[in-house]
Structure 1
Amino acid sequence: MSHHSTLFSQARSLIPGHVFQKLAQRHKTGRASRKFGFKEQFTVMDFIQLADRPSLRDALCCLKAASRRLYHFGLKNVARSTVADANTTRPVGFFRDLFAEMYGLCASKAPKHKFRFKSRLFSLDATTIKLCLSLFPWASFRKTRGGIKMHVPLDHDGHIPAFVAITEARAHKSRIDRTLELPRGSIVVFDKGYVDHNWFQALGARNISFVTRLKRNVVCTLLERRLVNRRSGVTSDHAIEVATRGKPLRLRRTGYRDPESGRRYEFLTNQFRLSAQTIADICKDLWQIELFFKEIKQNLRIRSFVGNSENAVMIQIFTALTVYLLLAYQKFLSRLDISVQQLCQLI
């Protein structure tokens, strides 16, 4: 049979075949399906993302129309009920682990962040995905609204998602810090919603630095004043001590005035080696994760879903983020001078 590789086949082939076999063996439940396993399920969900199909019925009709190419996709004609049942009953862990495997491949080829220091840099934030309460009753948020919250630490090496945690929409941001695992020696930047002094203690014990905005109501003791270069915009650089349930916590408070807007900001960190100007630049780069959320919501299907169960929604979200990593991986390998968003639109 003659083979003409399609864009879809090329994109999917970036995931090594042994990864599917390893994960399928890890998450198998009962007797494996000969015609529609985990790999085939991911292929269908991947097609929904790259082809921007609005529903499962529409996606399967498009695949059926290209029946001569299904062999090269690793697929056969499949009933809609088969895919729907798989999305409802099969473990989300397979798709979560597939995302983690793809991040490992992608991170090895990603360009380094723009700062001079060698430590890994991560931005941590969350975005809410709104859901119709009548269609998704398990995702109750308010009386007339439903939704879930997606927490993501963004790796600034390539600006790719490093980890994903999905919680109910009403869950506070600070709950996610207990499950977050970052490399030792890395730096994480986040907004005021994640401020937790006990977590700061835990980060310091793991040799992880943090940078965040200072809350107005923080109670602290001034320990030391450092010299600053006010021409650079830095207005203050202090060593302070804040009280916690355990030992007193020694931190650094820096002030910065934006030369463009004239607004003054205060930052809190446990990083004493970097300059105050670098601390301000790191906190300013937190905006990258907002751009990432905007990018995936505009170009991937994570606001409308092809299944109504909680399991189906989780599978679609992890598939979407795995597709984002696939596109970023292709971008890094090809050294394309375009964004992941432009590459997604091109495909």
Structure 2
Amino acid sequence: MTAESRKLRYLGLTTVPKRSTLADANEKRPEGIFGAIYADLYNTTKDTLLSDSPTKDIPQWMKKLLIIDFTTISLFSNLIFKGVGRNPKIGKKKGGLKVHSILRATEGVPCDIQFSSSATHDHFMLSPEKLTSEDIVAFDRAYINYEKFEKLTENKVIYVTKM
């Protein structure tokens, strides 16, 4: 915030809050508030998030395409997050955090983001009840769950994954 302090006056702030003040305030907030803020920002701006391509040239199927994936952020301690993977011959497992996201193929930002420990299986992000027959979903093998595939099929959702 210090780097952009000249812009804070537009928010009605005359001084930059100290980092400890922000950390203390965030410690008292429920984590769901940040998800709600993101969802509100996304819903407010989603019509302006289309990619650079002209909208008339986008095929109809691509407008329906959702891409589900994750990235792992390694943390060098097993104290906070349970380690993932095989036990190494030397040293300890590294803890980590997974950032799961759902991205519409025609937009530049995720429409949904969830965090989990790196040891959590990824298929929790695949929610058949949130998808409709209008959706086409692409994801990798990490999301394989045959019960959920059955529900997707029952809901007539088109999905693509690796065997």
Q: Residues 103-252 of structure 1 correspond to what in structure 2 (within 5 A)?
A: 103-111=42-50, 112=55, 114-117=58-61, 120-133=64-77, 137-141=79-83, 143-178=92-127, 181-214=130-163
Conservation of the 8 A alpha-carbon contact between 1:186 and 1:209: yes
Task: Give the RMSD, CA atoms, in angstroms.
Answer: 2.7
**Aligned counterparts of 1:184 and 1:110: Cα–Cα separation in 2:** 23
Letter of the aligned partner of 1:130 in structure 2? S
Partner of residue 339, structure 1: none
Alpha-carbon displacement from aligned partner over 1:246-268 (angstroms, at most 9, x marks no partner): xxxxxxxxxxxxxxxxxxxxxxx
Letter of the aligned partner of 1:129 in structure 2? I
TM (normalized to structure 2)? 0.75
Q: How much does 1:70 deviate?
A: 3.8
Conservation of the 8 A alpha-carbon contact between 1:107 and 1:157: no
Question: What percentage of residue pairs aligned between the two structures are identical?
Answer: 27
Letter of the aligned partner of 1:138 in structure 2? I
Alpha-carbon displacement from aligned partner over 1:153-204 (angstroms, at most 9, x marks no partner): 1111224201111111011222322487234411001112222221112112
Evaluate the alpha carbon distance shift between residue 63 and residue 116 of structure 1 in structure 2; reply closer, same or farther with a 3 A threshold: closer
**Aligned counterparts of 1:63 and 1:175: Cα–Cα separation in 2:** 38
**Aligned counterparts of 2:162 and 2:136: Cα–Cα separation in 1:** 15
Q: How much does 1:73 deviate?
A: 3.1
- Say which SS state the counterpart of residue 140 (structure 1) adopts: coil
Q: Residues 76-91 of structure 1 correspond to what in structure 2 (within 5 A)?
A: 76-77=14-15, 78-91=17-30
**Aligned counterparts of 1:145 and 1:83: Cα–Cα separation in 2:** 29
Q: 4+ runs of 1 displaced by more than 6 Å?
A: none
Aligned length: 150
Alpha-carbon displacement from aligned partner over 1:314-343 (angstroms, at most 9, x marks no partner): xxxxxxxxxxxxxxxxxxxxxxxxxxxxxx
Letter of the aligned partner of 2:149 in structure 1? F
Alpha-carbon displacement from aligned partner over 1:132-170 (angstroms, at most 9, x marks no partner): 318xx3223253522111111111122420111111101
Larger % of helix: which?
Answer: 1
Structure 1, unaligned runs of 5 or more: 1-46, 48-58, 215-347
**Aligned counterparts of 2:19 and 2:140: Cα–Cα separation in 1:** 43
Q: Residues 249-288 of structure 1 correspond to what in structure 2 (within 5 A)?
A: none
Q: Residues 292-303 of structure 1 correspond to what in structure 2 (within 5 A)?
A: none
Partner of residue 13, structure 2: 75
Conservation of the 8 A alpha-carbon contact between 2:133 and 2:158: no
Letter of the aligned partner of 2:81 in structure 1? A
- Say which SS state the counterpart of residue 61 (structure 2) adopts: coil
Bigger radius of gyration: 1
**Aligned counterparts of 2:128 and 2:96: Cα–Cα separation in 1:** 21
Alpha-carbon displacement from aligned partner over 1:78-136 (angstroms, at most 9, x marks no partner): 333211101222122121011112222332234358434375111111110112318xx
